[in-house]
Amino acid sequence: MCGIIGRFQRSAGRRQDLTDDDLRRLAHRGPDGSGVYADAHVQFGHLRLAIIDLTEGGRQPMKFAGGRYVVTYNGEIYNYLELRSELEALGERLETRSDTEVLLAAYKAWGPACVRRFRGMFAFALWDTVGKTIFLARDRCGEKPLFFHRDRECITFASELKGLLPLLGAQPSLDSAVADMYLHYQYVPEPFTLLEGVHKLPAGHTLLVSLDDWDARPRRYWSVEDIAEPPGLPRDAAAALERIRAGVEDAVKMTLRSDVPVAVALSGGIDSGAIAAFAQKNSAEPMHAFCVGYPGRPPYDERAQARALAEALGMIVHEVEIPVESFVDFFPKLVRIMDEPIADPAAFGHYSVPKAAADLGIKVLLTGIGGDEVFWGYSWVTQTATTNQMLLKAPLLRSIAPRLVSSGTRSVIDRLANRMPEGVRQWMTMLRDIANDTGPADQLQFYSAAPDFNDAFRFKRGLYGPAMAAMSERNAFRPTAIGLREIDRVPAAVVRMLFDTWLVSNCLSLGDRVSMAVGVESRLPFLDVNLIELVMALRAKWPDHRAGQKAWLRRALKGVLPDEVLSRPKAGFQPPVQAWVSGVLDRYGGALREGILQKAGILDPRHLDQALRELPRQGWAGLFFAYKLLLLEMWHQQVVAA
């Protein structure tokens, strides 16, 4: 895990070497060393966090094949040992114990298709000095970030905006259309960024650019929606559950490969519990487990459950407690750490766990991120799959539902739904969601079931300034514009939209930034490609979105985790968000006055003072919208204008 930065210049005579200051901006991602490579066309920089092959043999940028290939690489290829054996059988000679050299040899042997063979997380830039091509690649789910900017003369890239922006010269303008998306989603959906001309290489994509094909576009090499059936797919439920259990354990074993100690971020839930159980089973020594809680141990504090499981597994437990005032005091620094505005109020809790690990000298932390996305962990997502299938079967529901569910009856439905039998509750919720849907009819319904997404339509109308005047109502739906699907393809398409939006741009972006800010590598076993492809192939054969929350995972882990863990309802990460957000707005809300959002025409100054007074009085919805505005403003101060 590292930080990467660089340029590819079209004209050989315009070389601009990277400076120590350029590298220093990403030093938090790689505190164990740095390196540079430069020739007439490229300048590569690398900040190293040493995890595999701690010797000088793992230094980057690394050359291979007599210097023909040069790479700056961030991530881990967990199956590097297997690939090394395969490459050596093909006649390649490898001199180090690093996965970086395996990556280079794989590119030499298989070209751009090498990424299809990698199990792991990665973002890299590889320069072919003979072919005069630069190859940018990102892992399938987007665990590792890669930002880039391209003009007619130069392609500039970096792991974070903080590293990229100073290389561009002029400060890019805010993109008002993407600001509108952010205020709906609470994060910036990729491949967009809030800055004009700056992009993210999307997850599961590569970009091969040459001097002769400067305008080449990113190409997708993997999608969670399009999975080929693997050989030997189980033919009955019992065998399928056994394969899932084995798949989870194999993924955990792969992520344990490290030359430094590995620990586990542990809550009281199934996902992190499964990782802890399999990690400790495959570790010769007691592992460290870190759990987070809050003063007074409120009902959502899961430290007791986490400690009970960890001690039963023979792990060493560390508790982290987070007072409200700590979040408010730390907020400006957290904004800079996140690199993009991500309005997930749980961000500080996610930061506190790797910080505690780093304080004990631990560099690798396994987390349960991805389990909810792979195994139907969110009830609104399963409901969305069911609703879309029903709309395809009965398209008239789209016109009937608004008549059955008026604005006056929606709150009544919400109150009654929880008291009804499961089948009735699903129907009531489905009708409400269809009636609430404001999305285009030529798209699958998705975020209409998420209240925060729809609340933005209500609040922004009285706040937007002249830069937003011509904004289309369809703008917010651009990240999910994948079109319609046949009925049996809907579940996979819903998973794809979840992966392409919430998972990569909220969960993975946040997890990467807060852990790398303290020099800790987060590893995510549930996003192992072999496990994902197994589950999606099984799902195509036996749809499971109506089987109950994480039904397959709960059944597969029978005997691995205690029954009380397997039967525990999903709690999620629940910090005291109301107090946190209120405290931040009280202390920093004045930053919105005369700020960049007004100057750029995104906010109308005539209504801002009233909005700052009124929004927090409108319950959580108004409070959260005000928080998103403030975070956007402070992000520009802390990251763009810094």
Q: What is the pLDDT of residue 207?
A: 98
pLDDT at 576 > cutoff 90: no
Q: Is 213 exposed, middle or buried (0-12, 13-18, 19+ CB in 10 A)?
A: exposed
Nearest C-alpha neighbor of 172 from the set 161, 185, 188, 187: 161
Q: What is the pLDDT of residue 115?
A: 98
As a whole number, mean pLDDT of residues 516-532 equals 98
Q: Is residue 603 within 8 Å of residue 301, measured between CB atoms?
A: no
Half-sphere exposure of 364 (CA within 13 A, CB side): 21
Q: What is the pLDDT of residues 405-453, one digit of tens each?
A: 665 555 555 565 566 566 666 666 777 777 777 788 899 999 877 778 9
DSSP state of 603: B
The class that CATH gives domain 237-375+500-566 is alpha beta
pLDDT at 214 > cutoff 90: yes
For a pLDDT cut of 90, what percent of the chain falls above it? 78
For a pLDDT cut of 70, what percent of the chain falls above it? 95
- Beta strands, E only, 139-223: 147-150, 154-158, 198-200, 205-210, 219-220
Instruction: Find residue 64's DSSP bridge partners.
Output: 69
* 292/503: higher pLDDT: 503
Distance of CA 536 to the CA centre of its chain: 19
Q: What is the pLDDT of residue 438?
A: 74
Q: How far separated are the first and last CA of the chain, in Å rounded?
A: 26
Q: Is residue 565 within 8 Å of residue 273, measured between CB atoms?
A: yes
DSSP state of 230: P
Q: What is the pLDDT of residues 353-402, one digit of tens each?
A: 999 999 999 999 999 999 999 999 998 899 899 999 999 998 887 777 77
The ranges assigned to domains in the chain are 2-220, 237-375+500-566, 462-474+576-642
Could you give the dihedral angle defined by the CA atoms of residues 116, 119, 125 and 131, in that order, rounded to the nearest 10 degrees?
A: -40
Q: What is the pLDDT of residue 411?
A: 59
Q: What is the pLDDT of residue 323?
A: 81
Only one residue has tokens 């072999």, namely 530
Share the mean pLDDT of the chain: 92
Q: What is the pLDDT of residue 425?
A: 65
Give the list of residues 6+ apart from residue 423 with CB closer than 8 angstroms, or none: none
Give the list of residues 6+ apart from residue 519 with CB closer than 8 angstroms, or none: 28, 29, 30, 31, 49, 358, 363
Q: What is the pLDDT of residues 453-502, one digit of tens each?
A: 989 999 998 899 999 998 998 999 999 999 999 999 999 999 999 999 99
As a whole number, mean pLDDT of residues 55-83 equals 97
Q: What is the pLDDT of residue 122?
A: 98
**Long-range contacts (CB closer than 8 Å, 24 or more residues apart) made by 601-608:** 601/176, 601/465, 601/466, 601/467, 601/468, 602/174, 602/176, 602/179, 602/464, 602/465, 602/467, 602/468, 603/463, 603/464, 603/465, 603/629, 604/463, 604/464, 604/465, 604/466, 605/465, 607/462, 607/463, 608/463
pLDDT at 571 > cutoff 90: no
**Under CATH, what is the fold of the domain 2-220?**
Glutamine Phosphoribosylpyrophosphate, subunit 1, domain 1 (3.60.20)
pLDDT at 1 > cutoff 70: no
How many other CB atoms are there within 10 angstroms of residue 589's CB atom?
18
As a whole number, mean pLDDT of residues 90-104 equals 97
Q: What is the pLDDT of residue 417?
A: 58
pLDDT at 590 > cutoff 70: yes
Reading phi first (left if > 0) and then psi (alpha if -120 to 50, else beta), residue 66 is in: left
Instruction: Find residue 381's DSSP bridge partners.
Output: none
Token output for 89? 């059988």
pTM of this structure: 0.95
Nearest C-alpha neighbor of 78 from the set 257, 249, 247, 280: 257
Q: What is the pLDDT of residue 555?
A: 97
